[in-house]
A = this chain, B = another copy of it.
């Protein structure tokens, strides 16, 4: 069987791998565009960085607090990275470190009341921005896409790089 006729068997003129490559470029550009827009608005309107907002959002959702490893895994950033972000938030009294009695290697990071109050305000604006920036997606489209994205390369990012 010739290459040409084998090609003709499936209906894709463009190879699927090229199509997926295009999709990846678009996905990356979309994420970067939205991230950049959010970053700029957070900075100008609330004088906060995007990574700091991300950490506060994670902590707001987990009122009991989180340790550093949980944070790095959830946010898909490297372990050592979280240290600096928490340092800066702690300097601004937006988060605090609590030592649990059981394990002296780790500690729990929580939002302070000041941090929680400030986050509530920023989060409201943030949700509105996302609503605006993703206005092209209706409820059904959004749900479908969420499902597709969930089963992607389940990120083995974050956490310790050693294994």
Asked if A21 lies at the interface with its beta carbon under 8 angstroms from chain B, I say yes
Q: Chain A interface residue count: which class?
A: 35 or more
Min distance, Cβ A43 to any Cβ of chain B, angstroms? 11
The B-contacting residues of A in range 1-58, CB under 8 angstroms, are 11-12, 16-24, 26-37
Asked if A139 lies at the interface with its beta carbon under 8 angstroms from chain B, I say yes
Min distance, Cβ A30 to any Cβ of chain B, angstroms? 5
The reply to whether B27 and A131 form a contact with Cβ atoms under 8 Å apart is no
Min distance, Cβ A89 to any Cβ of chain B, angstroms? 20
Binary contact readout A139-163 vs B (1 if CB under 8 angstroms, 0 otherwise): 1011101101111111111000000
Asked if A99 lies at the interface with its beta carbon under 8 angstroms from chain B, I say no
Query: Which of A30, A146, A150 has its CB near the most chain B CB atoms (within 10 A)?
Result: A30
Mark A residues whose CB is within 8 Å of B.
11-12, 16-24, 26-37, 76-77, 127-128, 130-131, 133-134, 136-139, 141-143, 145-146, 148-157
Cβ-neighbour of A150 out of B26, B32, B142, B153 (below 8 A): B26
The 6 A-B residue pairs whose C-beta atoms are closest, nearest first, are A33-B155, A31-B31, A36-B157, A17-B131, A32-B76, A20-B134
The reply to whether A152 and B17 form a contact with Cβ atoms under 8 Å apart is no
Cβ-neighbour of A139 out of B11, B152, B153, B155 (below 8 A): B11
Residues of B within 8 A of A151 (CB): 136
